[in-house]
Structure 1
Amino acid sequence: MMMKQKTAAPTIGLILAAMFASLTAIGAFIKVPVPFVPFTLQILFVYFAGSLLGSRVGALSQLVYLIVGLVGVPVFTEGGGIGYVLKPTFGYLVGFVLASYAIGRLIERTENPTWSDFVIAHFTGLLLVYGAGTVYLYVAMNVLIGKAFTVWQTFLYGFLLAVPGDIVLCLIASVIAVKVHKQIYPLKHRLRGEIKA
């Protein structure tokens, strides 16, 4: 009985990580047509991975998504494969891992997080995604591809035109996450108690 209790949490964590990796993959193909830069729902599941699964499992889910795509499964917006690291947008995918971990850490610091706690955590994650994405975009365009790309162009195309939709998703995710978190927190707390016992 003790063995089952001790292995329950890691098993559930792996299942949830796989599930959210799948949801992120699905989100890559749900495109919202808006002017200039259409956006996908990927980052919505990055927000949820961090805020609902916690820092470790949330980051694991995005790491699984990243690895699955790099080994060749077409789960990214434009396919998959190791060659994807040469794409200018690859940095955003790396940012998913960083963001989900940071979001989880921020939410874990509060026993009963409010909507504003989720907004702050999600915005932090958003900045990490775009920070990693824009830096990689600039390097990829100027070094890997060899096309002159200024800091202003990077900021315009890599952040300014792309971020409005993700900000809306950030707010929507916060509304949903605060409600879902209240339902799943007692279950997580009880599971931890069983494992410690």
Structure 2
Amino acid sequence: MKTRDLVKIGLFAILTAIGAYISIPFFYVPFTLQIVFTILSGILLGAKNALYSQIVYLLLGLIGLPVFSGGTGGIQTVLKPSFGYIIGFIFGAFIIGKIIEQYKNLNIINVFLATIVGLMVIYLFGVTYLYIILNLYMQKQTTLFWVLKNGFLIFLPVDMLKCFIATVIGIKLKKHI
């Protein structure tokens, strides 16, 4: 791995942390800009390095640095209902990068579709974890419908907009990186 790759990996880990600080609290899962930087890591770094950037972000938070939404960090954050989305960032960034690596010519449609697939992967991890933590750990006895509504459907329109913004920015930056 080249020094340039390490710098990009670290940069996107830090950008994802910055995105966590731009946050609007909402039930158990806040609105943040983390997804924008996760998506951009997939577009700009490729699958492997995007995966690494999100793993670094996760590890920074787990060792106690306050890089998660709300300025939290530490091993105890694995018990937060929103932690599954952070796990999803790792796989979502990887999938976006993997899909984009398959294209020779990037255009707004294929990059946007790749970001949507990555977003669905993030939701898969996030909503599943939300359901498990609320029901098994917190004993909230929430329904699957409630979790889908409050962990997925409410966020979908805003996150689709974030995907589009990241697509446009990513395509422009990809030409220069």
Q: Which residue of 2 aligns with 1:125?
A: 118
**Structure-2 separation of matches of 1:140 and 1:61:** 26
Residues 108-130 of structure 1, C-alpha deviations (whole Å, 9 max, x = no match): 00112111111011001110111
Is this contact kept in 1: 2:30–2:69, CA < 8 A?
no
Q: Which runs of 5+ in 1 are unaligned?
A: 1-8, 185-197
> Residue 49 of structure 1 aligns with which residue?
41
CA distance in 2, matches of 1:62, 1:92: 11
Q: Which residue of 1 aligns with 2:168?
A: 175
Aligned-pair Cα RMSD in Å? 1.5
Q: Hey, what does 1:62 align to over in structure 2?
A: 54
Q: Greater CA deviation, 58-67 or 174-183? A: 174-183
Taking the aligned partners of 1:83 and 1:33, their CA distance within structure 2 comes to: 19
> Structure 1 stretch 82-91 or stretch 173-182: which is displaced more?
173-182
- Structure 1 match to 2:132: 139
Structure 1 runs, 4 residues or longer, greater than 2 Å off: 31-34
Q: Cα distance, 1:32 vs. partner?
A: 5.4
Write out per-residue CA displacement over residues 55-92 of structure 1, whole angstroms, 9 at most, x where no aligned residue: 01111000000000011001000301000011111100
Deviation at 1:31, TM superposition (A): 2.6
User: Given the superposition, is the C-alpha separation of residues 38 and 138 from structure 1 closer, same or farther in structure 2, using an over 3 Å criterion?
Assistant: closer
Question: In structure 2, how many angstroms separate the alpha carbons of the residues matched to 1:80 and 1:33?
Answer: 16
Correspondences of 1:19-58 after superposition (within 5 Å): 19-31=11-23, 39-58=31-50
Residue 81 (structure 2) aligned to one of 80, 83, 88: 88
- Provide the secondary structure at the position in 1 that maps to 2:67: coil
Q: What does the per-residue CA deviation read over 1:165-189, in whole Å, with 9 as the maximum and x for residues that have no partner?
A: 11101011111111221222xxxxx
| Match of residue 97 from structure 1 | 90
**Who wins on radius of gyration, i.e. which is larger?**
1
Q: Alignment identity in percent?
A: 44
Q: How many residues align?
A: 174
Normalised by the length of structure 1, the TM-score is 0.84
Partners of 1:64 and 1:115 in 2: CA distance: 28
Q: For residue 10 of structure 1, what is the aligned residue in structure 2?
A: 2
After superposition, the Cα gap between the structure-2 partners of 1:159 and 1:118, relative to the gap in structure 1 and judged at 3 Å, is same
Q: Which residue, 76, 87, 111 being the options, matches 2:68? A: 76
Cα deviation for residue 38 of structure 1 reads 5.5
